């Protein structure tokens, strides 16, 4: 097992990794920007290093500074969390050069699944269904020719992307031509790689992902699915497990497909295989694989009782998985709401300020993952995520009742948040009936979806 882990991240995920490391008896090294020097994860870590000014490009994305901190501290592993450098082949390469273990997949698996077009080809070869789509599209004529065969709507997607960046939906030729260069430009800006490809777009599909874990000894398991269909601009807002639309046979089939995809990638560690599911036909299609721990991993932890971050660290240290597929049991239902520092009344514009009042909910079945405390300053440099509220119950009805109670209790003073927005959304008739899809939120906000 490792002796000391450098946590190359900030906020709630840095705290999550720190706590898992402590339970494993490991020392921790926190890195921070100048504006984060008083953050909770910094105060709780065994050692700390400032890696640069506030802007992420000069601090949390500064690979030389991160490696220098790890070397000076004598760390033997780096955990990247999610976001920032979690899916950076360059960081992994540099870790290998400095005898640091990267807590994540191997280099080739990361590169393979990070290239969305190559990932499609890889899983297709092992019988995992993929949407009609293309390899890299280099010109508008090629895109229009594909549309002429497969029709609209189509999704333009960044080959090296994720997180909703470089994605555009085209409903006709004019859309396709207009979005083509925009998507390429955004992909280049976000990922340093302007390649894009096309996929058939299913406007009323469900976004269902399977949590997978694999070790270096050939063992691969899945820990059930999460339904992440409640999104805004391709960014997830609410996640739950299990999905209300999957029957036992569909769940088994999709889980086996997720395992085949994971094996095909030669993958080790925690990852997520994402699918689009068409509830009308029952068909499912591979979307992508995220080669990291996900924001929404607590949902799977609540229904399985397995600590994914501790297991991720053990696997990276060379240990075999601590459980088999048969030992994984889904118990009850869990829901997660992401609480962001955003103003829903102003188009979800970021809200900055100092937290002067804070009350976090508790009680049966409630978990809150957050780095917030009174006096915390919400900065303009980073993602707007403030907290994740997770509710667990014997069934979906109890989980949703507990979530509503938790959101009523929660108070965050000093910035605008999405707490009330979540309460209203969870109270809609469509959500209560489980009749949601990836474009549901936009329809609800625009008033074209029923309230009850």
Residue pair 337/368 in contact by the 8 Å Cβ criterion: no
Sign of CA dihedral 251, 253, 258, 263: positive
Helix-helix angle 116-125:248-264, to 10 degrees: 110
Question: Nearest Cα to 157, choosing from 124, 122, 194?
Answer: 194
Active site residue 260: no
* Given 195, 292, 338, 367, the catalytic residue: 292
Helix runs in 201-282, H state only = 248-264
Residue pair 224/239 in contact by the 8 Å Cβ criterion: no
Determine if residue 74 is left, alpha or beta; phi over 0 gives left, psi from -120 to 50 gives alpha, anything else beta: left
* Token pair listed for 313: 């660290």
Task: List the 385-393 sheet strands across, edge first.
Answer: 284-290, 269-277, 206-214, 220-232, 235-241, 333-340, 385-393, 366-370
Say how far apart CA 285 and CA 282 lie, in whole Å: 10
Say how far apart CA 277 and CA 203 lie, in whole Å: 11
Residue pair 397/433 in contact by the 8 Å Cβ criterion: no
DSSP 167: -
Say how far apart CA 204 and CA 214 lie, in whole Å: 32
Helix runs in 24-62, H state only = 40-44
Q: At 377, which helix (H) or strand (E)?
A: strand 377-378
Task: Tell me the pairing of strands 411-413 and 342-343.
Answer: unpaired
Task: Return the active site residues.
Answer: 292
């Amino acid at each position: 097992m490792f002796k000391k882990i450098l946590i190359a991240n900030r906020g709630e995920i840095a705290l999550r990794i720190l706590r898992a490391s402590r339970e494993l008896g490991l020392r921790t090294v926190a890195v921070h920007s100048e504006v984060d020097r008083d953050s909770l994860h910094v105060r709780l870590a065994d050692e700390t290093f400032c890696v640069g000014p506030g802007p992420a490009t000069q601090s949390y994305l500064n690979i030389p500074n991160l490696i220098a901190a790890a070397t000076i501290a004598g760390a033997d592993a780096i955990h990247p969390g999610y976001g920032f450098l979690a899916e950076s082949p360059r960081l992994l390469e540099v870790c290998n050069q400095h005898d640091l273990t990267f807590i994540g997949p191997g280099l080739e698996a990361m590169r393979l699944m990070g290239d969305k077009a190559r990932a499609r080809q890889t899983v297709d070869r092992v019988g995992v269904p993929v949407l009609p789509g293309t390899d890299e599209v280099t010109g508008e004529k090629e895109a229009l020719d594909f549309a002429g065969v497969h029709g609209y709507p189509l999704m333009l997607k960044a080959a090296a992307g994720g997180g909703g960046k470089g994605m555009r939906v085209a409903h006709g030729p004019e859309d396709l031509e207009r979005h083509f260069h925009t998507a390429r430009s955004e992909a280049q800006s976000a990922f340093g790689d302007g390649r894009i490809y096309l996929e058939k777009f299913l406007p009323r599909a469900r976004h269902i992902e399977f949590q997978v874990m694999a070790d270096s000894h050939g063992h691969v398991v899945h820990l059930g699915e999460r339904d992440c269909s409640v999104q805004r601009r391709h960014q997830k807002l609410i996640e739950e497990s299990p999905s209300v639309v999957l029957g036992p046979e569909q769940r088994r089939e999709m889980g086996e497909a997720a395992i085949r995809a994971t094996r095909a990638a030669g993958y080790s560690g925690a990852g997520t295989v994402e699918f689009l599911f068409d509830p009308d036909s029952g068909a499912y299609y591979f979307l992508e694989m995220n080669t990291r721990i996900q924001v929404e991993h607590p949902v799977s932890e609540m229904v399985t009782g397995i600590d994914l971050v501790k297991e991720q660290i053990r696997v990276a240290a060379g240990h075999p998985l601590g459980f088999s597929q048969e030992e994984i049991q889904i118990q009850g239902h869990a829901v997660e709401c992401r609480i962001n520092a955003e103003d829903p009344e102003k188009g979800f514009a970021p809200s900055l300020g100092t937290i002067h009042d804070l009350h976090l909910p508790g009680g049966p079945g409630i978990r809150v993952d957050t780095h917030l405390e009174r006096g915390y300053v919400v900065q303009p440099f980073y993602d707007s995520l403030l907290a994740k509220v997770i509710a667990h119950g014997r069934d979906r009805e109890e989980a949703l009742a507990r979530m509503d109670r938790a959101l009523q209790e929660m108070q965050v003073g000093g910035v605008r948040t999405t707490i009330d927005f979540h309460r209203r959304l969870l109270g809609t008739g469509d959500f209560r009936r489980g009749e949601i899809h990836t474009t549901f939120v936009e329809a609800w906000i625009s008033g074209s979806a029923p309230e009850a």
